Amino acid sequence: MRFVIRRFLLFVAALLAISVVIFAALRILPGDVASVMAGLNAPPERVAQLRSQMGLDRPLTVQYFSWMGGLLHGDFGTSLLTGRSISSTVAMRASVTFPLIVLGLVVALAIGLTLGVVSTLSTHAAVRSVFHFVAIVGGAIPALWGGLLLILLFGRGTGLLGILPSQGFPEAGWDNFGSALTSLVLPALTVGIIDGASLMRYTRSALGEVMNSGYMDQAMACGYTRRQAALKVGLRLATPQLVSVVGLMFAGMITGVMVIENLFALPGIGAGLVTDLGNRDLIAVQSELFMLAAFFLFVGFLVDLLHRFLDPRLKHAVQGGAQ
Amino acid sequence: MMGVDVNKLGISIGGKSIVRDVNVHIGDGERVGLIGSSGSGKSMISKAMLGLLPINAQTEGSVILGDTQVVGADETVLAGLRGRYVGAVFQNPASSLNPVLTVGKQIELPLKLHYDLDKADRQARVSAMLEKVGLDATVAKKYPSELSGGQQQRVGIATALITSPRLIIADEPTTALDSITQRQIVDLLVSLVDKAGASMLFITHDFSVLARATTRCYVLDGGRIVESGNTADLLEHPQGEQTKKLVAAARELTLQRKQNRDD
């Protein structure tokens, strides 16, 4: 329990640190939303007036604590440009991005784990070489090119088979469940196939390492066949390593899908962030960046807890020391 | 009872010969040693006997356990032998005992895989086995990482002996331990094997350990058997160069241990 509390406090400390970095970095950027709104040729008085209206002329510490105070109450602030609540805009975008990365992760896990295990257990050197080649090529495909290829094959209207939507997300969102789900299939496949190929290499490496260890000899000496030992003991022992990789992959996907969202015209977090940054919508950008960082750190926090749960050696290694 | 006959065993990996023309015989209830320096091929022979050679290893000759030919045998046949008729104790329990299984589940595994016993029966046998190897029954709930090296090796021995196998293959079971624990572990293994009437192949590079554990031994050098005979005789009158070196090293080690104890 002490470990969980300690890790949670570290998570909170990291969040605070990142909030300062995000806030400061955006203040260093040249130009702000007032100059964008006032236009290129606006007199400085007009820009100053807008800055004052938006509270951008207040001392930085006041701006920071007012922003953090809002975050603590779940209020991400109001977009300086559109006047809309940032929380509701982010929630709308997240309703596209999160299902996309979860689906992408499911595809990546299905491909990566299955092929990784099959190729590690294969007794034929030729089969292992083919899988190795597929993993290298698959992992090297640029997301943009891979997505275009899938659109050309399956995209409705333009593709050879023309069976899946390749552009946009329904206006009604998840109220139109079938349409929302099908519009995420091609983007999720693009993310999943590429990350799945990388995951396959990690699975081969992690499982391969365990397969050559004394743990496997011991398991087989008890009466398991090589295949049983790999599936019942090897995979379990490779799990902590794979959890780290999958955690990082999942956290990275939230910004990694930016290109995919643009390619498939999905109104997600990544695509929205690019728009808001272009508009110098400081409050929106800093809240969105903070949310992304919080997600990234939270996944790291969960991975740490899972590791501890999955590998009893970690618990005993620090017993008596700083726990 | 289960005797072992290894005839003209040859093992090569990636075209490189590791073991050549090895003949080893272990009679029923006999404790036989296999001694050699690091890299002489000792562990490969034990792996060949257990059917645990790497998948890219090429084997020739024969290894007969009881009436089963191990070389080239189907994986399910080998799995049926391992843990039931043949038990194995490995060199470093910290890197062979499953780190995510409790000690109780670890020792219980061969019973689970080979016998149709209910849980209570299995647990009773595990508790009795823990007592036999000198461990408290509460250890069953602990993970290997919570135990000392000596305790871990006792768990390794309990796992190997829980099904009362006819043959024990002990591959350098004391190498990772300090000298006092080494002696305790060897004595424990010998007494349990003798009580069970099982045969044992004891692999080591240390003659002083071998003398306590076996009555007869084979000396391995460069993948070949270079000398064999009564362990005590070989220790007293080594003939070959390799045997002389191993005996000299054992004497040096024994003197060093004695000196350490005197200090």
Q: How far apart are CA B142 and CA A29, in angstroms?
A: 57
Give the single-character DSSP code of B215.
Answer: S
Question: Residue A5's pLDDT is what?
Answer: 92
pLDDT tens digits, A215-272: 999 999 999 999 999 999 999 999 999 999 999 899 888 878 888 998 899 999 888 8
At B18, the pLDDT band (50, 70, 90 cuts) reads very high
Question: Residue B37's pLDDT is what?
Answer: 83
Q: In what order do the strands lie in the sheet with B4-13?
A: B16-26, B4-13, B57-65, B68-69
Question: Residue A47's pLDDT is what?
Answer: 81
Q: For B1-85+167-263, which CATH class?
A: alpha beta
Q: Which range among A41-45, A175-179, B128-132 shows the weakest confidence by mean pLDDT?
A: A41-45
pLDDT tens digits, B127-153: 999 999 999 999 999 999 999 999 999
Q: Which residues of A touch B159 (CB under 8 A)?
A: 218, 222
Do the chains contact at B100 and A237, CB–CB below 8 Å? yes
Do the chains contact at A225 and B76, CB–CB below 8 Å? yes
Q: Which residue of A has its CA nearest to B113?
A: A223
Q: How far apart are CA B138 and CA B150, in angstroms?
A: 16
Q: Which range among A212-226, A293-307, B106-120 shows the weakest confidence by mean pLDDT?
A: A293-307
Task: Pick left, alpha or beta for residue B127 (phi over 0 → left; psi -120 to 50 → alpha; otherwise beta).
Answer: alpha
Above pLDDT 90, what percent of chain B? Answer: 70
Q: Which ipTM did the prediction report? A: 0.92
- From the CA of A232, how many Å to the nearest CA of chain B? 11
Question: Residue A110's pLDDT is what?
Answer: 96
Best probe of the B interface among A218, A239, A311, A316, by most B CBs < 10 A, is A218
Coil/strand/helix, residue B208: helix
Residue A114: pLDDT over 70: yes
Residue B134 has which token pair? Answer: 């000198």
Q: Which residues of A touch B13 (CB under 8 A)?
A: none
pLDDT tens digits, B172-218: 998 878 878 888 889 999 999 999 999 999 999 887 788 889 999 99
- The backbone torsions φ and ψ at residue A30, rounded to the nearest 5 degrees and listed phi first, read -70, 145
Residue A11: pLDDT over 80: yes
Residue A201: pLDDT over 50: yes
CA distances from B151 to A100, B98, B186 (A): 50, 14, 13
Do the chains contact at A223 and B109, CB–CB below 8 Å? yes
The answer to whether residues A267 and A169 touch, using CB atoms and an 8 Å cutoff, is yes
- From the CA of B261, how many Å to the nearest CA of chain A? 30
Q: What is the mean pLDDT of residues A145-161?
A: 84
- pTM (2 decimals)? 0.81
Q: Which residue of A has its CA nearest to B156?
A: A218
Q: What is the mean pLDDT of residues B119-125?
A: 95
- From the CA of B250, how many Å to the nearest CA of chain A? 27
Contact residues for A258 (Cβ-Cβ < 8 A; gap 6+):
A270, A271, A273, A274
Residue B12 has which token pair? Answer: 């090569």
Question: Residue A321's pLDDT is what?
Answer: 43
Q: Where in chain B is the domain with CATH 3.40.50.300?
A: 1-85+167-263
Question: Residue A320's pLDDT is what?
Answer: 44
Q: What is the mean pLDDT of residues B23-42?
A: 91
Do the chains contact at B110 and A222, CB–CB below 8 Å? yes
Q: Which helix (H) or strand (E) holds B12?
A: strand B4-13
Q: Give the residue, A149 or A162, on which the prediction is more confident.
A: A149
Give the single-character DSSP code of A200.
Answer: H
Of B91, B99, B109, the CB nearest to A311: B99
Q: How far apart are CA A32 and CA B109, in angstroms?
A: 67
